[in-house]
């Protein structure tokens, strides 16, 4: 589980320094991350609340303080294991894969509401988490909450020009990397397992995720793809 204290600027700067020493010079500096956050906040009115759309690990390990959480969906975007991770949940020899949003389709997930006093501090933590390598681009997207409300939420879509981007991999190749890639933050298959389990708990059916779960289990000769974290207290509705 990722903890808030691991997302302090000091800890993140050490991660960036280590990554750059290892040859990954695309990792963003603190100044670049802060500039990205300032740009995103241009669409935010001071004193207003803000929403965050979560579709992957933010669903089951947000490490954020928030005022409300609601199942939701966005149109025009879909989950995709579409970028390599040679660190964290993989190695340079066998990189893992991580989720991002790619254009097309629809995606169900969780919306977190940040109260006005939480917006800047929590988004700064979120940027330290999601904007390390620059493979994500922040977007404000129309988001339909399951209770009928429509809000605009910030989320993270893949930069298709980034060196980590790997496009639409054949699903059998994606499954192989997810099944066997591991790194200092754990196994890639556990990332998939937790995402799938939390989606099911929220009555979210994602055929792409479910097919990967089945393929990974078959590759490993298992009935499940790994340990699953406890479901958080979100109501499926």
> Has 68 been annotated as catalytic?
no
Active-site pick, 48, 130, 172, 222? 130
Q: Residue 59: name the closest of 123, 130, 111 by CA.
A: 111
Active site residues: 130
């Amino acid at each position: 589980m990722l903890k808030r204290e691991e997302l302090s600027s000091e800890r993140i700067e050490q991660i960036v320094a280590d990554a750059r020493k290892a040859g990954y010079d695309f990792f963003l500096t603190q100044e670049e991350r802060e500039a990205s956050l300032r740009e995103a906040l241009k669409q935010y009115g001071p004193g207003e609340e803000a929403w965050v759309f979560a579709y992957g690990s933010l669903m089951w390990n947000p490490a954020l303080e928030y005022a409300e959480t609601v199942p939701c969906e966005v149109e025009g975007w879909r989950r995709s294991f579409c970028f390599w991770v040679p660190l964290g949940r993989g190695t340079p020899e066998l990189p893992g894969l991580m989720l991002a949003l790619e254009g097309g389709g629809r995606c169900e997930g969780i919306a977190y509401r940040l109260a006005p006093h939480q917006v800047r501090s929590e988004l700064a933590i979120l940027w330290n988490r999601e904007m390390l390598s620059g493979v994500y681009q922040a977007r404000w997207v129309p988001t339909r909450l399951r209770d009928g409300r429509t809000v605009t939420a910030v989320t993270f879509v893949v930069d298709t020009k980034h060196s980590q981007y790997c496009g639409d991999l054949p699903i059998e190749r994606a499954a192989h990397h997810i099944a066997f890639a591991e790194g200092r933050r754990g196994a890639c298959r556990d990332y998939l397992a937790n995402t799938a389990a939390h989606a099911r708990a929220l009555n979210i059916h994602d055929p792409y995720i479910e097919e990967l779960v089945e393929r990974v289990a078959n590759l490993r000769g298992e009935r499940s793809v790994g340990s699953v974290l406890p479901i958080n207290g979100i109501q499926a509705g």
